[in-house]
């Protein structure tokens, strides 16, 4: 069960990033993919919003409280 998360992560990274572009290192691929995943890719779990937008909204709401 421990490997399920990592295997799913690598599957997504490979299909959405590595197979589409050429990178010098694995860390470049991961950095680019995580940036895309958090800042550009809309998520159905957040009603089509990006994770960074959800984080920023929650962070500013907690500061205002």
Over residues 6-19, the pLDDT tens digits come to: 888 888 888 888 88
User: What is the value of pTM for the model shown?
Assistant: 0.61
What is the token pair recorded at 5? 């998360």
What is the token pair recorded at 12? 């997504």
Mean pLDDT of the chain: 83
Rank 17-21, 33-37, 48-52 by mean pLDDT and report only the highest. Answer: 48-52
pLDDT class for 65, splitting at 50, 70, 90? low
State which residues form the domain around 37.
2-64
**CA atoms of 35 and 30, how far apart (whole Å):** 8
Could you give the residue ranges of the DSSP H alpha helices within the chain?
A: 2-13, 26-39, 51-64
CB 25 within 8 A of CB 17: no
Neighbours of 9 (CB within 10 A): 14
Number of domains composing the chain? 1
**What share of the chain has pLDDT > 90, as a percent?**
5
């Amino acid at each position: 069960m421990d490997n399920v998360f990592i295997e799913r992560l690598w599957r997504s990274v490979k299909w959405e990033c590595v197979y589409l572009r050429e990178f010098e290192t694995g860390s470049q691929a991961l950095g680019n993919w995580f940036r895309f995943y958090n800042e550009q890719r809309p998520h159905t779990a957040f009603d089509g919003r990006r994770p960074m937008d959800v984080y920023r909204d929650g962070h500013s709401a907690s500061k205002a409280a």
